[in-house]
Structure 1
């Protein structure tokens, strides 16, 4: 992943291809879930794709990137759970009906 980030400027199509294949299943499932919640009138989301990226970003910013870039060790289960709960709370503050 570090090489991909470093070389993404020189090979943008490769970076796009790898990233879209690797994150697509999870993103698609999350988007589908959000669409269901919108239909059930539990969430109000005008742009599902943006909201999905926002939610993923809320967790990855703290849990994934510092480890991936070598700035910190893998967070404990308790830290992961706390980050996820805070992401959910923040997300629902914006989108919950």
Structure 2
């Protein structure tokens, strides 16, 4: 019985957490980071102040949770299979494009950019709690492939940056600058495929040459 009760309370806590994060994102976008209070977020999300403070003791902690939540779903996916760089990069590329296409990601970057002059710590949170952990997962994949001999990459940080940049520069960044910018699913697939081809052409280890006995 106690396990059932515990599971119920966990589910309720997760639901309230999701409500808080959703309300916080909307208010941060509408009012800005400085003018949004935890009390107002509690009211908007329909939870008590005690419940909100129990989950997020400060506004900075709430923002960091937003960042982690926005980036973490892709990190929790199973790692791509090893030994096939085309397949592996394809999986990573599609996950990244899907991540960047979510509305909350665009909202998050807009908050950081708008508040950067007054709250540079928001950019630090976005980088250290969001982008960097995701980037490290991609870098780790390339490093493992390099050690396995599938690719030859002297600078895995540069290679990971190049690969992710080819995708984000088309799929994501224009959404912040160009009103109505939309990319079809077919176009996203093409962008990812081209990024995979370019990276593979640059870094894939050459296969064994023809046998001298042939």
Structure 1 residues 71 and 92: alpha-carbon distance in aligned structure 2, compared to 1, 3 A threshold = farther
Determine the C-alpha separation between the residues in 2 that align with 1:36 and 1:43. 9
Report which structure shows greater RCO (CA 8 Å, sep ≥6). Answer: 1
Match of 1:29 in 2: 137
Match of 1:66 in 2: 174
For residues 59-82 of structure 1, give each alpha carbon's deviation from its aligned partner in whole angstroms, at most 9, with x where no partner exists: 000000111323443311111100
User: TM-score scaled to structure 2, two decimals?
Assistant: 0.41
Matches within 5 A, 1:32-71: 32-71=140-179
Determine the C-alpha separation between the residues in 2 that align with 1:22 and 1:2. 15
Determine the C-alpha separation between the residues in 2 that align with 1:55 and 1:16. 23
TM-fit CA distance, 1:83:
0.2
TM-fit CA distance, 1:93:
1.7
Once superposed, what is the RMSD of the aligned Cα atoms? 1.9
Determine the C-alpha separation between the residues in 2 that align with 1:67 and 1:13. 24
Query: Greater CA radius of gyration, 1 or 2?
Result: 2
Match of 2:110 in 1: 2
Gap regions ≥5 residues in structure 2: 1-108, 206-214
Aligned to 1:42, the other structure's residue is in SS state coil
* Bigger mean CA deviation after superposition, 3-12 or 58-67: 3-12
Gap regions ≥5 residues in structure 1: none
Aligned residue pairs total 97
For residues 36-85 of structure 1, give each alpha carbon's deviation from its aligned partner in whole angstroms, at most 9, with x where no partner exists: 11011111111111111111101000000111323443311111100000
User: TM-score scaled to structure 1, two decimals?
Assistant: 0.82
Residue 45 of structure 1 contacts residue 51 of structure 1 at CA under 8 Å; is this kept in 2?
Answer: yes
